[in-house]
Chains A and B, each alone.
Chain A
Amino acid sequence: MREKETTLYIGPQHPGITGNMMVRLKVTGDTIVKATTEVGYLHRAFEKLQEQRNWLQCFTLMCRFCVPEPDPAEESYARAVELLEGREVPERAKYIRVLVLELARLGAYMLWYGGQNGSLGLYTVGQWSVGDRNYILDLFEELTGGRVYHMYIWPGGVRRDLPKGFEEKVLRTMDYLENRLKDYDDLMFDNTIFQKRTQGIGIVSKEKAIEWGVVGPVLRGCGIKSDIRIDDPYEVYDRLDFEVPTQEGGDIWARALVRRQEVRQSIRIIRQVIEQMPSGEYYNRIPNPQKWALPKGDAYARTESVRGEVGMYIASDGGTKPRRTHFRGAAYVHGVTLLEKVLVGANISDVSPIMNSLGVCPPEIER
């Protein structure tokens, strides 16, 4: 009997999808023949909005590109503005920025633990990890005044200095998290179900990965050692000692292992940052924001997020508002051209695990 081709829609409202987007599937049986990404559910025209805002006002929009890990976008924007203007950033601010970025990375990985396991029906890990993420959010609340939207890294440095006793609190939280990692290993990586559902599934080929624009843990899961923190170092990453883990295979399992190791590396980086934290200024003051004009020209700054390259392009015509800004998220590539390729041949039930492992974040696609 010849199987009939059916069209199936996953999303935009679906617990297994990573945000408001839809994947239209052509399936025969439960094998996917063709997948098409459909977006348009949360377009907010951020880039156009920024053209009506001054250079400072734009900064508050940055955290809204990706809720789980908002800081890399803030960092990219701040650094793009600094590159264009030639504004110096104090040493202490650089270290604080790295601290914030790595904390955000940990928070996002905790959320990913939940998402990746949730997509496989393993809910316990998610309940634990989201609870553990709360400890990181507590730190953010104390440092920035906001739990999820930090609005903390801005052009010229950071918004406020570290509160008193903050370093010790961070170290305590790091110790706690490190002890917890074994529990995650037991529940997740040593779990047969997890292994069976991830190994050999959602393979991205090593040969095509770079050309296809694959970045971040997905690229490292293909065995390619690529990390912006090392390749195109920013802030003080070139002064810190950490490893860039890679895995062969290019499947969900490999990507999960990369992330598993990166959590440990982030903890390592945070401890070094706290140890090396210099004293001094944390902010190189900008002029009156109403009249703050940037020189004509453009700049592009990129930051390594949990999903990979998160970049901000800004073009100035010499005025107090951007001529054009463009946000480049990893999901712009992973969520459309890559996802459409990887899903072909996969099982319907693997759509959600694959999306989670590729780090598809719909607000990065349509912004």
Chain B
Amino acid sequence: MSFFDLKGTLKPLTALKQFGKEPHTITYPKVSKEAADRYRGFHYNDLDECIGCGNCSTICQNAAIDMIHLEGIEGGKGDSGLRPRVDHGRCCWCALCVEVCPTGSLSLTKDYLYVSEDPDSFLWTPGKDNPGGKEKISFFSTEETSLNVFQRVPMTEIEGTERIKSFAEVVLGYSEDEARAEASRCISCGLCTEVCPDHMHIPEYINAIANGNDADAVRIIYDNNPLPEMCGKVCTRRCEDVCAIATRGEAIAIRWLKRYATETAKTADIIHEIVNPEIKEANGKTVGIIGAGPSGLTAAYYLALRGYGVTIYEASAKAGGATMYGIPKYRLPLESLQKQVDYIQSIGVKIHFNTKVGKDITFKEIYDHYDAVFMGVGFPDAWSLGVDGENAKGSMQAYRYLYMINSGEKVDVGDKVIVVGGGNVAIDAARVSRRMNAEVTILYRRRVEDMPADWEEIEGAEAEGVHIIPQAIPIKVIEDEKGNVKAVEYLMAEMVPDERGGRPKPVAIEGSNTIIEATAVMAAIGQMGDYSFMSEFEDKIKINRGRFVTNDKQQTTDPKVFAGGDAVNSTADAISAIADGFRACKAIDEMLSKK
């Protein structure tokens, strides 16, 4: 090739044809380009939607996200009260924080220009420091794109028509694979532990299950709950209501996971082997406990571990209290409860069965004999309907009915059962009656969605063919000539909004009288205490509105006496009773070890 290669010299000159053209990258006068609809610019956080779970901070590989307290954000009930602050000097704009945010409150915006001489000014709180970001959101997560797994692993159950044939347990429990899969959905934020009355170590045991270490999970669970298998089956599980995943999906099945872990220990001996409890040497002090319900058993277990001589006095033939006699066996089989009680007894807790305080032994004897007393006496009596004809034969309390069935007694309810109420007791009585081959109708004053019963129980009842008539107020039980229940008359109600902002009230519609045939009527509208056993202590141990007055350590107005369970708290569930027992144990230990 010669140096004077004409083509090779002239061709490059064609560049000159661009000379008169307008520039095609920048326009004059300069206009800043608007970022694309998916642009990953600065963060924006909707502070009201954010629950402070900290998942953004966990996924951030650059440690750019801190969780901090903001003024005016208190937290509680599913909100940690913390909010993310981003060091935009460390951020790499990968937006994984957005992808894992369970609520979808965190997003990225189109804002990307920020110039400052002060490097510290890159540290700011999205949402608080850029309220205008809300209008410029570009990169966000939807239920479809989110990296949270919003679908729960479904639980296997016996089919509705099949299960009313027996008292076999309805819920079959997770298999190992199912449990691992369900546990791995958890983001370990711990918001659940706040609302758990007992503050169980939920993220820890779920993580242990996810890691395949069930034994560790059991040990963690037994740290503050000696009846976990019972809770794993029937807990009211307020934890699941505040689950971070539940903001846009289905809550982690915390209850079923606990059930899975505890069921890996098949006998009391195996529980003992796994938990391997450290029992302190006897310290010579003794505690008397009245009632072998969840609160009494819990206090007894942890006091015994701490070296106290513990004796429980139980009026019935079996331990468990309301969980033994109130909950039907298709939800909590006898063997399961028995296993847990056996384990508690195996570490040295003594239980005197069929010993009613006030009849077989006086309260004073116990009071004088022990260094401290704990009362977990529960609510043994039920409210009656308070309508005409409620003393007819076949009209009964649902709670008594469940007690008798659970004690193995025969109760004839005929073939048409009416249950009045909307709580778990009402549903239990209804589902038990279905198993007695009766047609069952529930009358409830409010709407179905207002029912205080567990939604899974309501669904279970419907699947078993229980008929629910909402907004129905019974006004009369009609007897036949023999004095047996023949029918129930009720009024339909309309829901009237509460002027003070409470939940809507049912108001009977005049003239809407309806009569429904019945062979039995069960009232399930609440229970109450019976404190006659300690009448001589009425002055010392105060009772207010049917419950013991206690301080935050479960101590009654008599410093030596502690109380817990239904007779103290108003939540009426087992886990609160367990929490009371655990708190009382710590307080009793503190008090007695000082002496």
Interface positions of A (Cβ within 8 A of B)? 53, 56-57, 60-61, 124, 131, 134, 138, 141-146, 149, 151, 159-160, 163, 183, 186-187, 190-193, 195-196, 283, 285-292
B262 at the interface (CB under 8 A from A): no
B475 at the interface (CB under 8 A from A): no
Q: Are A291 and B184 in contact (CB under 8 A)?
A: yes
Per-residue CB contact flags for chain B residues 1-30 toward chain A (1 = under 8 Å, else 0) read 101010111011011000000001100000
B38 at the interface (CB under 8 A from A): yes
- Residues in chain A near residue B39, CB distance under 8 A: 141, 145-146
Spot the interface stretch: B143-151, B223-231, B323-331. Answer: B143-151
A195 to B7, CA, bound (A): 12
Closest 3 interchain pairs by CB? A192-B8, A60-B94, A190-B11
Set B5, B36, B92, B185: member contacting A288, Cβ < 8 A: B185
Q: Are B14 and A187 in contact (CB under 8 A)?
A: yes
What would 5 A/B residue contacts be, using CB atoms closer than 8 Å? A124-B15, A131-B24, A142-B38, A187-B14, A288-B147
- Residues in chain B near residue A290, CB distance under 8 A: 58-59, 187-188
Set B9, B92, B138, B210: member contacting A291, Cβ < 8 A: B210
Select from chain A the residue with minimum beta-carbon distance to B6.
A192
Q: Are B138 and A187 in contact (CB under 8 A)?
A: no
Set A124, A141, A193, A286: member contacting B147, Cβ < 8 A: A286
B361 at the interface (CB under 8 A from A): no
Q: Are A287 and B184 in contact (CB under 8 A)?
A: yes
- Residues in chain A near residue B185, CB distance under 8 A: 287-288
A56 to B61, CA, bound (A): 10
Secondary structure class of chain A's binding surface, majority of residues? helix
Q: Are B61 and A60 in contact (CB under 8 A)?
A: yes
B95 at the interface (CB under 8 A from A): yes
Q: Are A57 and B96 in contact (CB under 8 A)?
A: yes
Q: Are B95 and A145 in contact (CB under 8 A)?
A: yes
A166 CB to nearest B CB, Å: 11
Set A53, A163, A285, A289: member contacting B38, Cβ < 8 A: A163
A56 to B1, CA, bound (A): 56
- Residues in chain B near residue A61, CB distance under 8 A: 61
Set A145, A186, A288: member contacting B139, Cβ < 8 A: A145
Chain B, range 157-194, C-beta contacts under 8 Å to A: 181, 183-188
A65 CB to nearest B CB, Å: 14
Q: Are B8 and A190 in contact (CB under 8 A)?
A: yes
- Residues in chain A near residue B35, CB distance under 8 A: 141
Whether A160 contacts B145 in the complex (CB less than 8 A), given A57-B61, A131-B25, A192-B5, comes out as yes
Set B12, B14, B36, B93: member contacting A142, Cβ < 8 A: B36
Q: Are B36 and A145 in contact (CB under 8 A)?
A: yes
B258 at the interface (CB under 8 A from A): no
A145 to B25, CA, bound (A): 20
B190 CB to nearest A CB, Å: 13
A290 to B58, CA, bound (A): 9
B418 at the interface (CB under 8 A from A): no
Most buried by A among B9, B96, B207: B96
Select from chain A the residue with minimum beta-carbon distance to B60.
A57
B523 CB to nearest A CB, Å: 46
- Residues in chain A near residue B24, CB distance under 8 A: 131
Q: Are B100 and A289 in contact (CB under 8 A)?
A: yes
- Residues in chain A near residue B37, CB distance under 8 A: 142, 163
A326 to B187, CA, bound (A): 29
- Residues in chain A near residue B83, CB distance under 8 A: none
Set B96, B145, B181, B184: member contacting A60, Cβ < 8 A: B96
Q: Are B96 and A56 in contact (CB under 8 A)?
A: yes
Select from chain A the residue with minimum beta-carbon distance to B212.
A293
A142 to B481, CA, bound (A): 82
B40 at the interface (CB under 8 A from A): yes
- Residues in chain A near residue B15, CB distance under 8 A: 124, 183, 186-187
- Residues in chain A near residue B184, CB distance under 8 A: 287-288, 291-292
Q: Are B61 and A187 in contact (CB under 8 A)?
A: no
A134 to B24, CA, bound (A): 10
B17 CB to nearest A CB, Å: 9
Q: Are B147 and A151 in contact (CB under 8 A)?
A: no
A213 to B145, CA, bound (A): 41
B38 CB to nearest A CB, Å: 4
Select from chain A the residue with minimum beta-carbon distance to B207.
A291
Q: Are A56 and B147 in contact (CB under 8 A)?
A: yes
Chain B, range 59-108, C-beta contacts under 8 Å to A: 59, 61, 92-96, 100, 108
- Residues in chain A near residue B7, CB distance under 8 A: 190
- Residues in chain A near residue B187, CB distance under 8 A: 288, 290
B419 CB to nearest A CB, Å: 41
A325 CB to nearest B CB, Å: 14
Chain B, range 194-216, C-beta contacts under 8 Å to A: 207, 210
- Residues in chain B near residue A149, CB distance under 8 A: 92-93
Q: A145-B36, A146-B93 are in contact. List 20 more A-B contacts (CB 8 A).
A: A56-B147, A60-B92, A134-B25, A141-B36, A142-B38, A143-B38, A144-B38, A145-B39, A146-B39, A151-B95, A159-B145, A163-B37, A163-B38, A183-B15, A186-B11, A191-B8, A193-B12, A288-B184, A288-B187, A291-B207
Whether A187 contacts B36 in the complex (CB less than 8 A), given A57-B61, A288-B148, comes out as no
Q: Are A191 and B12 in contact (CB under 8 A)?
A: yes
- Residues in chain A near residue B188, CB distance under 8 A: 290
- Residues in chain B near residue A60, CB distance under 8 A: 61, 92, 94, 96
Q: Are B149 and A288 in contact (CB under 8 A)?
A: yes
A183 to B21, CA, bound (A): 14
Q: Are A288 and B186 in contact (CB under 8 A)?
A: yes
Q: Are A160 and B147 in contact (CB under 8 A)?
A: no
- Residues in chain A near residue B95, CB distance under 8 A: 145, 151
Select from chain B the residue with minimum beta-carbon distance to A195.
B8
A120 to B148, CA, bound (A): 52
A149 to B96, CA, bound (A): 14
Whether A187 contacts B96 in the complex (CB less than 8 A), given A57-B61, A195-B1, A287-B184, comes out as no
A100 CB to nearest B CB, Å: 14
Set A57, A163, A192: member contacting B1, Cβ < 8 A: A192
B399 CB to nearest A CB, Å: 42
A94 to B40, CA, bound (A): 24
B250 CB to nearest A CB, Å: 14
- Residues in chain B near residue A190, CB distance under 8 A: 7-8, 11-12
Most buried by A among B12, B186, B207: B12
Per-residue CB contact flags for chain B residues 214-245 toward chain A (1 = under 8 Å, else 0) read 00000000000000000000000000000000
